[in-house]
Structure 1
């Protein structure tokens, strides 16, 4: 990893003669932080205190912290370059890194000192943290996982560059208007981003369209070259990623698209004002928005452009770095371990081949060896509709040379398949990189699998299903390439920053804070699980966190929740397979019980939902409307609202998740078994002492194994039972007609009670359940309701509940992203730590 030469000069800061802890730009003492804050407010923001806005104060604080990262960052970069350290290149379309101020102070070890410094300067420390905009660089679990991995890679001292896109408008801001999701542009950059450093000299051209030409090179050999008809530039923006308690700082390099010439002076002179900036508009569109709606053709084209744009820039950057160090690309695969985070970066396979062959004149065999040994592929889904494919005609129009290369890869690959699976043309058709059924399409997961030396799933169940379902043929061909690495999340963000009350209690109880880096040492908490005094303090902390969340939700929604009630939380992307509608059916069943018997013995609950639906996903948006509609009725019905509340947290994000995870009593992980790859929200909730109600899906299986079956509320069919029932011919209409409670709930929705008399509003959702039910909500309903009755009884025994919560936290160590990264290093990347001394 390198940085431009002007950042590696040996000029010392002006205050270098001060004692190290007092240096204004790097010192960690209270006085140094105060002096640096005042300097940054004055010299960077151009403000004096009396006229400074909240954002001015936040920016001054952020630059103060960033200054302290830079010294370690540049030292890391120089050391990695001098030692030619093997480096992870983590390619991901998303990096949902979350707010940085609190996290970076934690990693620097200055949180308490900074708070004391702020108090003396009459700064509201919590207000500063709240002011920070969340970087809109991701959508959900995929991007959050990438961010957790970046945190762990730095903490474990693994040289890493994360590569992605600098989206100008990230995942949309979600507003709830009349119960409906309304999308608003996420202008996260409007007030500036103090954590990034533009690198205007690190620029790479990226082409689209055009034609492929054949020519003879200087040695008379026939070669191919791509002549694109559109070229945009990718400009680097760098963000330091600090490890916890170490000297290592890694690099997140994001690419912004720009036009090579942003202004056509001649067009402007003749009055063509739009034409004068047309190239700029077209180029900048590529990095404008995260996940544009891909239902229309132009949306599909833009997403394909985005994917190629960032992998091309990233590979050109890696080649630049390798040539700068070694002068040759022969050992490129020994320098870089490229990890493809799902199928979005799969084009790296074809682009690296093109660069090596067309630009650096390598023969096919050598280029393929380097490409395959460099790349590793993480699969994140089993849902067929989520396995990316691209129409061949679109692909050929945008990337004609890459399609030629993919055809070449496919031809050689299928020859291998024909030999290995002798006379099995069915295998040949199923494994081909080109899907010939129903319109020719390019299978991106197949391209990633063929072009990588390792393929991994993200939970034991997911990896096993991967090998027996969607990638069975590939596993039969190359069983040695398949691995499982169960996901994990960072305890720094989701325990220490999000839940400082619990953090202090854990540290005091077990007598050390090593658990922040060695989460498995939380096992020491088991010895205190039956301690009545600890249980009482534990409950007080949970109640305080619930009160904080209730107050915030009250401000956002106008509806307060009782902190003494059971906080039942489902927060994740809104999708049919996540089964938020199963949760809602249960809520309506409770509502019916209370309306039919006002004295029904039901534990008071606050149901909290959070999550966004894709803008073009009609049924998911209708689910949000139903959640809010049911909440509107229940929350305004005095007969039941002392027992039940239903709240929807608007604009769920990392920042809002940090409010939610510490306050949850019950974590809803209720997807149909065999559909969720892993899940990471399940881990975040458990880390904060929430108990899980869930199916044997994704990482739920392993969480239950770790925390103990007695500390997990299990219901529902297994993945095998799901397959058997589907194979036997699943008939949801029979369940609707045969189960009085299911029928009464769906009929109540049909009646218009939750839609102001409109009997058709929710019919697409209920018809889908009755006549299709692809995720078998009705099949699991009875088991879910019965399990919720067990939850109801368990919550009435505080000592037992708190014991279970303590054991959940004590046994959650496996699900640290540190453990996951260690497994990647040992089993896939073959890479060792490169410590940077503090």
Structure 2
């Protein structure tokens, strides 16, 4: 296996043409003929809603509730999407199009109704049809449960990319797992996070089609039997073990008003037999169904904790389960019209969204070697030419790895193949770098630092022809640090694809008032060509346009305040600065730095140091902590304790408020982001790969306070340094400080405000009944080394927040910068990102 063999550049294939829908008019068209068409479409929608209410739900419409209307409307939209989907699929076969397969263990879909109605171009007609039936579209849409099949940014990015794949008409499929329970539902009790099951399928999922005809066996355990074939070649057969059936469920993903519909295929685990009849006949009923329940656990819940052996095994099984089913589906589709696999890289592109699907590399090798008897060299060439890998973490300790003994027990043939890949690879490395044992150790697919473990990221890099980071800074770190040895061997493989978000959901849908104002200024074309937002720049100087922008923003803040009142029974002042940090709770994302700043404001107000000379500020938090992450949960508890203290302090009234919105998810992000004015993107430089929340906030006119981390670097370049509140160490500065010996006590001792704030938290002021409750938070900073360097960045952060307050007093200047932030965000469209993947990696034309 050669160490460096460039994969030939394949000519981009144009996507097949897809029939275009007729343009849809708005409400009450002026033209009489258009009025007739509009009204007839409304009547057709009403008729279809009634038909689905009767045929699918068995409901008398006179007794139907709002959820019945939601489901009947969903079936009505699904029916229309299905027509487009069938035509789209036929066009792929007719054109022999190269297919893109996007493999992701997470798809954070959120709600589908409003997005699908928007993409079908039926928003006005659906609103009118429901109104004539006595229903409000917004209320009907609110009844939908979020499909939370992901933990955060990774899953939301995957959903954005499917939206763009459909909108750009790229022949593509998303593959993942149909988790019965998605990311947990977060509630707050006495300030503590409490996790509850997220039974998103409780009332069924009207958007999916179950495909019982696509049922594939997936094998675990067993043994590998070696034999010599008739040509004297050593072969292997994987035998025995257990089998689980993977059943397909399809959810359609429409492009934006272009008649193109692709699908996301999610796999659900089914027992290979309903129960063991022998046990049943002997009266052992529980043992009869035990295997069935155990098998179906694989798709039961999103990401079981891997802090114990059983959880590790289940998580590994999840990864292989969806990969094995997906590749049976891919090979079935490929062999329908093609002989053999020689042309597979020219006809199939497989994108691995992080290392979770990386087991696909030895799985394809197994298929080619064991089932189709290809020689090793040819199988490996096909493999490398087919796969591409997107990395999502810069921290080496966060890279996925599996114990060799676990993988040997669960996937014995794959472990053999990985060992052989590694042997051949290291032999080539030895030839190129003789005597460099340390390099061999770093490059090996097997780590022996803490027992033998398979490095899945190394496997993904070695088995792919393309490796990309998700921001310019992130990719530089991958090439110069995380995968430096691989980048020296395969420099042509490494490239950057900065993340993007879909403007359909994250501007047009979630912020219709702002989208309409933008459309009045520059036209509607920005919805599919976000670069047109550049046209807003001259309007930032227009006083009338700024005033209208401010009214839209204030209305969004009022809507958010109403949502908080409904959720928390807490009134927020829409005239205050809405300072927002919503994202997964993690120490590296540094919600704690934000809290410490809030404590400093609280202490200044109660002591009279500020008097009334403060910009009124409402600080909004949201996010989930991993169930086993004790410190993240303690930070949530601290946020609530500080919030309560602020609410009780008379001198803070009208000046400072803190709110934590529970159960952060896609649907409440759609309410929070349009109302935000200050976006907190404050991770330690060099720790966040990219971020997409930072893009959503800026796109909706929020100003960012942030470090030079992830995509913040590129956002600041695009929106203008003068329109971004920068603070903190840079990546090289943080690295140099750590190398010299970072001592957080020095910052504690020399900064009076920081000293006072930490003492207040440690003293039990915010937890008088449990004085030591928050001592571990302070100890993590002062005694345990402050790994994420909050204290080093604290003073810079406080000064940046003072700049925020000064600017906010000048409402006209703030609005101008808000407009310029939106105007500068054209680059951060998922359409641009996906087009780059298609051009540079997949060889598919757009």
Q: Per-residue CA shift, 1:535-594, capped at 9, x if unaligned?
A: 111111111111111111111112111000000000111000000000000000000110
2:840 to 817, 824, 827: 827
1:251 Cα shift?
1.3
Give the TM-score taking structure 2 as reference length.
0.94
Contact 1:420 1:477 in 2 (8 A): no
Correspondences of 1:389-788 after superposition (within 5 Å): 389-510=401-522, 512-597=523-608, 599-771=611-783, 772-788=785-801
Contact 2:148 2:665 in 1 (8 A): no
Correspondences of 1:205-220 after superposition (within 5 Å): 205-217=217-229
CA distance in 2, matches of 1:336, 1:546: 46
Q: Which residue does the alignment assign to 2:7?
A: none
1:416 Cα shift?
1.9
1:384 Cα shift?
2.2
CA distance in 2, matches of 1:134, 1:385: 32
Q: Judging changes above 3 Å, is the alpha-carbon distance between structure 1 residues 326 and 768 closer, same or farther for their aligned structure 2 residues?
A: same
Contact 2:49 2:72 in 1 (8 A): yes
1:161 Cα shift?
0.7
Q: How many pairs are equivalent?
A: 809
Correspondences of 1:123-142 after superposition (within 5 Å): 123-142=135-154
CA distance in 1, matches of 2:692, 2:377: 40
1:204 to 188, 212, 216: 216
CA distance in 1, matches of 2:308, 2:419: 27
Unaligned runs of 5+ in 1: 1-20, 834-838
Q: Which residue does the alignment assign to 1:329?
A: 341
* Other structure's SS at 2:845 match: coil
Q: Per-residue CA shift, 1:270-304, capped at 9, x if unaligned?
A: 22111111111111100000011111111111111
CA distance in 1, matches of 2:393, 2:228: 44
CA distance in 1, matches of 2:716, 2:99: 35
CA distance in 1, matches of 2:242, 2:148: 28
Contact 2:368 2:379 in 1 (8 A): yes
CA distance in 2, matches of 1:245, 1:28: 20
1:218 Cα shift?
5.8
Correspondences of 1:140-219 after superposition (within 5 Å): 140-217=152-229
1:620 Cα shift?
0.6
* Other structure's SS at 1:301 match: helix
Correspondences of 1:306-321 after superposition (within 5 Å): 306-321=318-333
CA distance in 2, matches of 1:832, 1:250: 17
Contact 2:582 2:623 in 1 (8 A): yes
CA distance in 2, matches of 1:627, 1:540: 31
Q: Which residue does the alignment assign to 2:10?
A: none
CA distance in 2, matches of 1:478, 1:436: 24
1:217 Cα shift?
4.0
Q: Per-residue CA shift, 1:716-759, capped at 9, x if unaligned?
A: 11101000000000011222223221111111011211113422
CA distance in 2, matches of 1:219, 1:189: 53
Q: Which residue does the alignment assign to 2:11?
A: none
CA distance in 2, matches of 1:172, 1:101: 22
* Other structure's SS at 2:598 match: helix
CA distance in 2, matches of 1:824, 1:774: 35
* Other structure's SS at 1:621 match: helix
Out of 307-316 and 259-268, give the one that drifted further: 259-268
* Other structure's SS at 1:631 match: helix
* Other structure's SS at 2:266 match: strand
Q: Judging changes above 3 Å, is the alpha-carbon distance between structure 1 residues 786 and 72 closer, same or farther for their aligned structure 2 residues?
A: same
Out of 431-440 and 800-809, give the one that drifted further: 431-440
Q: Per-residue CA shift, 1:750-792, capped at 9, x if unaligned?
A: 1211113422111111100112110000000000000000000
CA distance in 2, matches of 1:87, 1:441: 33
1:215 Cα shift?
2.4
* Other structure's SS at 2:211 match: strand
* Other structure's SS at 2:450 match: coil
Q: Per-residue CA shift, 1:219-259, capped at 9, x if unaligned?
A: 66431111141110111000111000212111100000111
* Other structure's SS at 1:612 match: coil
Q: Judging changes above 3 Å, is the alpha-carbon distance between structure 1 residues 515 and 28 closer, same or farther for their aligned structure 2 residues?
A: farther
CA distance in 1, matches of 2:191, 2:96: 55
Contact 1:206 1:312 in 2 (8 A): yes
1:52 Cα shift?
1.3
Q: Which residue does the alignment assign to 2:301?
A: 289
CA distance in 2, matches of 1:420, 1:71: 56
CA distance in 1, matches of 2:560, 2:161: 28
CA distance in 2, matches of 1:372, 1:657: 38
CA distance in 1, matches of 2:53, 2:103: 36
Out of 449-458 and 750-759, give the one that drifted further: 750-759
Correspondences of 1:89-100 after superposition (within 5 Å): 89-100=101-112
Correspondences of 1:205-244 after superposition (within 5 Å): 205-217=217-229, 221-244=233-256
Out of 176-185 and 116-125, give the one that drifted further: 116-125
CA distance in 1, matches of 2:716, 2:425: 40
1:333 Cα shift?
1.7
* Other structure's SS at 1:175 match: strand
RMSD: 1.4
Q: Per-residue CA shift, 1:517-539, capped at 9, x if unaligned?
A: 00000111111101111111111
Q: Per-residue CA shift, 1:638-676, capped at 9, x if unaligned?
A: 221321111001100110100011000000000000000
Q: Does 1:49 align with 2:61?
A: yes
Contact 2:691 2:710 in 1 (8 A): yes
Q: Per-residue CA shift, 1:37-88, capped at 9, x if unaligned?
A: 1111111111112221222110001011111100000011111122221011
Contact 2:606 2:649 in 1 (8 A): no
CA distance in 2, matches of 1:242, 1:487: 21
CA distance in 2, matches of 1:697, 1:381: 12
1:792 to 780, 805, 809: 805
Out of 582-591 and 50-59, give the one that drifted further: 50-59
CA distance in 1, matches of 2:423, 2:40: 60
1:335 Cα shift?
1.4
Unaligned runs of 5+ in 2: 1-32
